[in-house]
Amino acid sequence: MLINFFLGAASFLELVLGVIIFGQREKGKELINISFGLDVLVVSAWVFSALMFRLVSGSTIMFWCKTQYVIGAIVAAGFLFFTYIFPEGKIRIGRWKQVIILAPLIALITMIYWPGAFVKQINIAAHGKDVFFGAISYPIYGLFIVFYFTLAFWNLIKIYLKRRGLIREQLNYFILGTGLTAVSAITFDIILPWFKYFYFWAGTISSLAMVGFIGYAILKKELFGIKIILTEILVSLTAILLLVDVFLSESRLEYLWRGALFLLFVFFGFLLIKSVLKEIKLKNQLAAANEELKKLDKIKSEFLSIASHQLRAPLTIIKGYSSMMLEGDFGKLNEKIKDVVYKMFQSTQGLVLLVEDFLNIGRIEMGQMKYDFADFDLSETVKRVVDEFAADSKKTRGLKLSFESDGGNFNIKADQNKIRQVVYNLIDNAVKYTEKGFVKVFLAHHNKNHKNLLLKIQDSGEGISKEMLSKIFQKFSRESGASRLHVDGSGLGLYVAKKIVEDHGGKIWVESDGKGRGSSFFIELPLNK
């Protein structure tokens, strides 16, 4: 009795689920919902036929046994056909392939119903009903079912691997639910009966797994765009109850106010359904736009990476030769030519840094940023960068550039080239955006236990507005008046610096009292004792 109850419950739930999916007509998903809705309804009929096979006796036993296997074959073919529609909502195979799918199904149905070809005999015993199958026809049936389901799940897996976002989340539950049902059905309805173990009910009851997982995907992941049909059902049922309540009125006044309540609900119910439709449409548009943006962002990152690699080599050569010319390796230059070569060197140096920033952006966004960690003295690295700027009087333009430390151990474990790049960018920014005054670099131990180091780069320059402080480390962020002092800034250096520092277990931040009042950048890094 308990088994019969579960079979009846499974058949009923699948009937309801099939009707709901089939009745949904969201634009772009009509064919998907019709196809799978019909398939679920056929599954409901398959479970019902298994229930009838258990309940009936006499001449109809053979009919229900054969019908159960016929419907099973239809489920397999229908499910395969569905995988050629999902998720685009268009049939992806031509008519000849459709015929190739349906022709074996028709032949199989004919074979099953042909007297004595598929089911030879059914014996009713104390333990249940034993079925004897044809020695050739039964393996053919089994191969048909296994092949169709295997091909269907192969199609779904290919879709799963290509897709991202919501569709992939929906497929997780969809594949799991249908897969459990398919494997269980093949095991209990095809493989075990061949060895005379008859548990026909187990395979059909397992279809509850399909109902459970797909039902969850419908409610939580909006599979088949089902939200609107559920809203329509809720509004319709409530409206029917209110209308019945109107006709049960006992007085004219009661009839009027209940009628008014019914009309008011119908009006707002219509608005609710309309708003849900609008929400679903907007959500689908946003999801599609988001997927497209992800693709474009990936293409952009790959393009920048390739372009940057191609640019870095010639720029490095130009920078190297111009540096050699300034140092007199090709003979002494007069002041006019020397000034031109110096400007070329400076521009090339800026382009090299910009290319490196683009390369780092690509590495960060693709998760390929790599570090070569080693022990080194941070104070020595910072001092060398400061000395490099101090030696270039044209770059500092008479600014007072200084470096101080509170002494002691400044040994850290980090990627020295990456940390040097961060320090160089911060000092370079301070120099560029300070017309007169000073740039002070100070390195100290940050706390009493000397666990962290704090690098402070302070300038008396342009300063940063309060609005800009919160987004200074974002990509392509620049202060509104920054281009007046430095035209060719990209707004990428600080974004890259923040990523590098955080990957080293540190922190970076900025403080400023406002425009024209200078700024201070801070880097905190763990000390390696």
Q: Where are the domains of the chain?
A: 2-225, 230-369, 374-526
**Choice among 146-155, 159-168, 252-261, 295-304 with the minimum mean pLDDT:** 295-304
pLDDT of residue 450: 66
Nearest CA among 205, 145, 160, 151 for reference residue 181: 205
Cα–Cα distance measured from residue 441 to residue 444, given in angstroms and rounded to the nearest whole number: 10
Q: Read off the pLDDT of each residue in 48-72 and give the average, rounded to a whole number.
A: 86
Q: Say if CB 85 and CB 98 are below 8 A apart.
A: no
Q: Tens digits of per-residue pLDDT, 231-264?
A: 666 676 677 777 777 777 777 787 888 788 888 8
Cα–Cα distance measured from residue 485 to residue 482, given in angstroms and rounded to the nearest whole number: 6
Higher-confidence residue: 486 or 105? 105
Q: Say if CB 132 and CB 119 are below 8 A apart.
A: yes
Q: Confidence class of residue 455 from pLDDT cuts 50, 70 and 90?
A: very high
Q: Which two tokens stand for residue 462?
A: 């342009």
Cα–Cα distance measured from residue 442 to residue 522, given in angstroms and rounded to the nearest whole number: 10
Asked if pLDDT for residue 356 goes beyond 80, the answer is no
Asked if pLDDT for residue 300 goes beyond 80, the answer is no
Domain 374-526 falls in which CATH fold?
A: Heat Shock Protein 90 (3.30.565)
Cα–Cα distance measured from residue 303 to residue 309, given in angstroms and rounded to the nearest whole number: 10
Q: Confidence class of residue 522 from pLDDT cuts 50, 70 and 90?
A: very high
Beta-sheet strands, E only, within 418-518: 438-445, 452-459, 507-512
CATH 1.10.286 fits 2-225, yes or no: no
Q: Is the peptide bond before 87 cis (omega within 30 degrees of 0)?
A: yes
pLDDT of residue 26: 60
Cα–Cα distance measured from residue 210 to residue 36, given in angstroms and rounded to the nearest whole number: 12
Residue 307's CB is within 10 A of a number of other CB atoms, namely 14
Q: Tens digits of per-residue pLDDT, 64-113?
A: 888 988 998 998 898 888 888 877 778 888 888 888 889 999 999 999 98
Nearest CA among 400, 398, 393 for reference residue 459: 400
pLDDT of residue 397: 74
Cα–Cα distance measured from residue 425 to residue 352, given in angstroms and rounded to the nearest whole number: 12
